A and B are shown apart, each in its own frame.
Chain A
Amino acid sequence: MKLNYINIPLYKLNYVSDIKEIKLDENFLNQFCAEYEIEERKGIFEQLDWAVKNPTYNFNSLVVPADKFTNKEIYDYIEKLHKFILENKAF
């Protein structure tokens, strides 16, 4: 799968020193839904869904700051985000 949409949620990793700083809350959800069209949100979710099923993929090869986080840390963030979007039916 060509991964591009997934870079959108991963970009915030550039701006934090700890992934826990990214709050998956109502504010995040509102911004996400306001900024991206339904087709774009679907694209993001589909790629998150693929990523969740492929934990050994080298996520550091995506648009994330080089070697700032381990593959496991990025995967865990993806998993939480996937669950958050799914639970809130944001796609």
Chain B
Amino acid sequence: MMRRNLEGKLDSNGIKAEQAIETGVTVIAPTVVGAATAPKAAPQSLKTLGGIPEAESVTGLTSVVKSDKSLGASGVIEVGGKTQKQIRYTSKEMLQNYAGEETGSVWGTKVKYLTEAERADLELFVKNGKIVDRQGNLYDTSSSSSVFGAGQGKSIFVMDEYGRIYASKYQAVGKFHHSSMLEGKPVASAGEITVKNGKITEISNRSGHYQPTQQMNTQVINELKSRGVASSSIKITGF
């Protein structure tokens, strides 16, 4: 497993702040040093979701869900009018075999890499313990088709290092993969997810591109639990 090694100046709490690519977005990341595999807890001085007074934490990311503070990723917060992203989870790089797939060199066909706007449409949220899409509708994978779960009602999903979860009901080899959702960037979790009327019944780590360990998928379970999803009935499967 590889950890992203972020370089930059650290403050007295071991926290690095750097300007993100997006205008007006500041990334606050815990120091990532060494080969620890467990998610590093944020230092006490950092305003994490749990440590921020309710009035200051805004986790909804879209106009639809913005007013509900319980919906969004735990690693994305808004303080003082600025979105701050706090790396909360260990991530893993895509296998090198697939590098350049968006150009057609790997498959002959070009794999679609989503833009930020396109990706936003695939983000999942949690509302009252149920999984909802960007519009607030209960998410359901009955019509989904993944490479191996074809006809079995499974979406493919990824979670980024900030805890944002994205899922696609469509997967096609050489055209749309787990890597499509985060433009081939590292993931904290990846696999297939089965959801019935907003209730998750199964999560796997089946991703040929990332081949995450089950430990990595514990991260998405933890993220979901932190947002109010009852995880005891979720079947964990995988390779």
Q: Which residues of A contact B (CB under 8 A)?
A: 4-5, 7-9, 11-12, 14-16, 27, 31, 35-36, 40, 43-44, 63, 65
Inter-subunit contact A4/B208 (CB<8 Å): no
Across the A-B interface, give the 7 residue pairs with the lowest CB-CB distance, nearest first.
A14-B208, A15-B148, A5-B108, A4-B108, A11-B173, A8-B174, A8-B173
Inter-subunit contact B175/A5 (CB<8 Å): no
Q: Can you report 6 residue pairs joining A to B where beta carbons are below 8 Å apart?
A: A4-B105, A5-B109, A7-B173, A35-B172, A36-B109, A43-B108
Inter-subunit contact B147/A12 (CB<8 Å): yes
Q: Which residues of B contact A (CB under 8 A)?
A: 97-98, 104-109, 147-148, 150-151, 172-175, 206, 208, 211
Inter-subunit contact A8/B107 (CB<8 Å): yes
Nearest residue (CB) in B for A35 is: B172
Nearest residue (CB) in B for A14 is: B208
Provided the pairs A4-B107, A8-B107 are in contact, do residues A35 and B208 lie with their beta carbons within 8 angstroms? no
Chain A nearest Cβ from B214, distance in angstroms? 16
Inter-subunit contact A7/B147 (CB<8 Å): no
Contact residues in B for A15 (Cβ distance below 8 Å): 147-148, 206, 208
Contact residues in B for A11 (Cβ distance below 8 Å): 147, 173-174, 208
Inter-subunit contact B150/A7 (CB<8 Å): no
For the complex with contacts A35-B173, A40-B174, 6 further pairs of A-B residues with Cβ separation under 8 Å are A4-B108, A11-B173, A11-B208, A12-B147, A43-B108, A44-B108
Nearest residue (CB) in B for A31 is: B150
Chain A nearest Cβ from B192, distance in angstroms? 10
Provided the pairs A35-B172, A35-B175, A65-B208 are in contact, do residues A12 and B107 lie with their beta carbons within 8 angstroms? no
Inter-subunit contact B147/A63 (CB<8 Å): no
Docked complex Cα distance between A16 and B175 (Å)? 20
Contact residues in A for B208 (Cβ distance below 8 Å): 11, 14-15, 65
Chain A nearest Cβ from B232, distance in angstroms? 27
Contact of B108 among A8, A14, A27 (CB under 8 A): A8
Contact residues in A for B105 (Cβ distance below 8 Å): 4
Contact residues in A for B148 (Cβ distance below 8 Å): 12, 15-16
Docked complex Cα distance between A12 and B174 (Å)? 11
Inter-subunit contact B109/A8 (CB<8 Å): yes
Docked complex Cα distance between A36 and B97 (Å)? 22
Nearest residue (CB) in A for B97 is: A63
Docked complex Cα distance between A7 and B206 (Å)? 18
Docked complex Cα distance between A31 and B97 (Å)? 25
Chain B nearest Cβ from A29, distance in angstroms? 13
Contact residues in A for B106 (Cβ distance below 8 Å): 4, 7, 63
Contact residues in A for B206 (Cβ distance below 8 Å): 15
Contact residues in B for A43 (Cβ distance below 8 Å): 108
Contact residues in B for A12 (Cβ distance below 8 Å): 147-148, 173
Inter-subunit contact B174/A7 (CB<8 Å): yes
Contact residues in B for A7 (Cβ distance below 8 Å): 106-108, 173-174
Contact residues in A for B150 (Cβ distance below 8 Å): 27, 31
Chain A nearest Cβ from B8, distance in angstroms? 34
Chain A nearest Cβ from B177, distance in angstroms? 9
